[in-house]
Amino acid sequence: MDHHHITPDEKSKAGRAMRRSGYALGVVALMVVAWSVFSTRQAAARLKQDAEAAAVVSVATVKPRLLTDGALVTLPGNVTANTDAPIYARTSGYLKRWLVDIGAHVKAGQVLAEIDAPELDQQLRGAEADVATAQANQRIAGTTAERWRGLRDTDSVSKQAADEKISLADSSAAQLRAAQANLQRLRELSGFKRIVAPFDGVVTARNTDVGQLINAGGGTGPELFRIADLHQLRLYVRVPQAYAAAMHAGLKADVHFPDRPGRSFGATLERTSNALDAASRTLLAQLIVDNAKGELLPGSYAEVSFHVPADAGVVAFKLPANVLLANGNGLQVATVSAQGKVVMKDVLVGRDFGSDIEVVDGLTAADDVILSPPDSLSAATAIKVLAPTVQAAR
């Protein structure tokens, strides 16, 4: 049997072939790993790029358009009575009876309640007795003094003794005047047992009842009644500094009340505080509202609309209504700064033109206002500004 023997040369060739095959497989494996890493990184980069592109919000902007026909400034106001007075007792005692209740219309001088004051009555009787005593003493002292004057003139008595009698008569007269003054005081105090209305008005509170102990004075005693004069109402409004110069006596305003929907009431600016509040930078304005029919109630909330003429220096802008954002900070618009960032601005809205609105505070003509801003828009939102929109004249 013929056996083939492998020579050393053949063994060396076979080893070299196996090593070349191993190198080739290693290179292929490295290429596969490198391609896999490269593909993964490319996919991650594309995903990041897509996410960043999705996070950028494309926005369109519009420039505010200046209005030349003046502005309508609407502000919140508080209504108070023309005159509102608490009624206290001037005499201590027990409430004997009350004659009017809340909602009653009263006239000046009308009796509201009566107080039973037995201690005062006793003091009054004592004062009357003191006056009677003083009158008797004054009469006898006056008669004696007159007699001693005659004796002094005839030198029947010494001048010193006569002067003493005359002085005693003067003292008695002074005591009588003091007693009469005290009696008058107690009579006037007794008159306060009848609590009366100080002016025409409506009883808005009654804080007492029959038999209740009444302490005199406003410092310690309770408020028995409260009366308000409602034929006119005072309306207080805080006007922003931008419109302070336009506020002058006689300026007309329209007033709307939530409990009187669809109705408008006229008001006239009576006066202002002539000073801005340092904290809010607002001017306190007082208006007068006619309430002869008694329809309006003090303490009400009202919306006051001032028609400010164009020559008053107030700047107002017209913008599409879809620029507004309503959130916890009130009405705002989103603008784009020179650096391309979102800037939220508080605005005060005037008239509603339907598809457009009037902005009377918070913007300038140079602002780029974002149209239809999403509710999630904030200063941190990345934006891409599209070509500016020119607001067409309507």
Residue-level pLDDT at 269? 93
- Rounded distance, CA 185 to CA 126, Å? 13
Among 386, 320, 301, smallest CA distance to 358 is for 320
- Model confidence at 394: pLDDT above 50: no
Q: 106 phi and psi, to 5 degrees?
A: -125, 155
- State mean pLDDT over 274-292: 91
Token pair for residue 112?
């509201």
Read off the amino acid at residue 338.
A
Residue-level pLDDT at 11? 59
Token pair for residue 134?
């003083």
- Rounded distance, CA 371 to CA 63, Å? 10
Among 279, 223, 292, smallest CA distance to 84 is for 223
Residue-level pLDDT at 6? 59
Residues 6+ apart with CB under 8 A from 89: 115, 192, 195, 214, 215, 216, 217, 221, 224
Q: What is the pLDDT of residues 24-73, one digit of tens each?
A: 777 777 777 777 777 777 766 666 555 444 557 888 888 888 876 667 78
